[in-house]
Structure 1
Amino acid sequence: MNCPSCDVPLVVFDVPVTYRDYIPEGAERAGLCPECLALAAAEDAAAESRFERITSSFPTDEDAAVPLAIAVGLLDSLALNRQALEELLTDVESAGVDPLLVLDRLHVQGGTNPEFDIERRRHQLTQLLD
């Protein structure tokens, strides 16, 4: 499945029931675009989630990778997604991953072209999580 915004193949993953409220249409599968970081519901079966396509520093453990992928996809609107981001990033941290460090590396690595400024969102998330 390709991104509806930029037509790049999505990183497709299964969404646990606890996170489906954060996915468009409450879908069982979602995809994150490694180019524009857009989140979309996905019809394709997630045979193998390849989160390293987003960045080599992205966690591969699905307990951290799935909530982090959803959170990254929700960064386009911090105001609308504040509560979801707090919950998702808390779960990422509980799984032993520093989500802010992953965002730093995503920003430095380049290769993405999101609709939002990653560095600015990272700063706003720091304030949100404090």
Structure 2
Amino acid sequence: MTCPNCGCPVVSFPIPASVSDCLPDDRPGAVLCTQCLRVAPTDDPPDDYPDFARASDAFPADGETAAVLACLLALVDRLALHRADADAVAGVAERHGVDVLLFLDRLAADTAVTPAVDVSRRRTQLAQLI
């Protein structure tokens, strides 16, 4: 499967139960583009979490935690609309031991990806929420 936005490969993953209520779509999975980092829902996710390093080394090795961060990326694309949900997902990531702002800094500095959203700008906006 490829990204409808840029045509690059995607990483398919199940939505963690801890954040499923925070997402605007109730499908059981999502795909993350390995290049533009757009996240889109999917009806047929795999049973296990993939290696998110295929998208960026900024993602942690733990698949579930990486999936939580991918879900956060889905929300920061429209942060004004999903402020409360983004804050809740960031809180889940922090409970998993992730410094969310540092993750976004590393993602913004990753020259191997070309995010469709301005990660640095969204990081600044998210920092005001959490």
Which range, TM-score by smaller chain? 0.7 to 0.9
Q: Distance in 2 between matches of 1:14 and 1:120?
A: 27
Aligned-partner residue type, residue 65 of structure 1: A
Report what 1:32 is aligned to.
32
Q: Does 1:53 align with 2:54?
A: yes
Q: How does 1:88-107 map to 2 (within 5 A)?
A: 88-107=89-108
| TM-score, L = length of structure 2 | 0.86
| TM-score (norm: length of structure 1) | 0.86
Query: In the comparison of the two structures, how many residue pairs are matched?
Result: 128
- Indicate the residue corresponding to 2:113 in structure 1: 112
| CA apart distance, 1:70 | 0.5
State the partner residue of 1:62.
63
Q: Which has the higher contact order (CA 8 A, sep 6+)?
A: 2
**Map of 1:79 onto structure 2:** 80
Shift of 1:116: 2.1
1:49-69, CA deviations, whole angstroms, 9 ceiling, x for partnerless residues? 111122213112234212111
Offset, 1:44: 4.7
Identity of aligned residues (%): 38
Counterpart of 2:10, as a letter, is: L
Deviation (angstroms), 1:90: 0.3
Contact conserved, 1:12 with 1:46, CA < 8 A, in 2?
A: no
- Correspondence for 1:6: 6
- 1:34 Cα deviation from its structure 2 partner: 2.0
Tell me if the contact between 2:49 and 2:64 (Cα under 8 Å) persists in the aligned partners: no
SS of the residue corresponding to residue 19 of structure 2 reads helix
In angstroms, what is the RMSD of aligned CA positions?
A: 1.8
SS of equivalent residue, structure 1 residue 11: strand
Note the residue ranges of structure 2 that are not aligned, 5 or more in a row.
Answer: none
Uncovered stretches (5+) of structure 1, i.e. residues with no partner: none
Report the 3-state secondary structure (helix = DSSP H, G, I; strand = E; otherwise coil) of the residue aligned with 1:115: coil
CA 1:28–1:80 in 2, change beyond 3 Å: closer, same or farther? same
The structure whose residues are more often helix, as a share, is 1
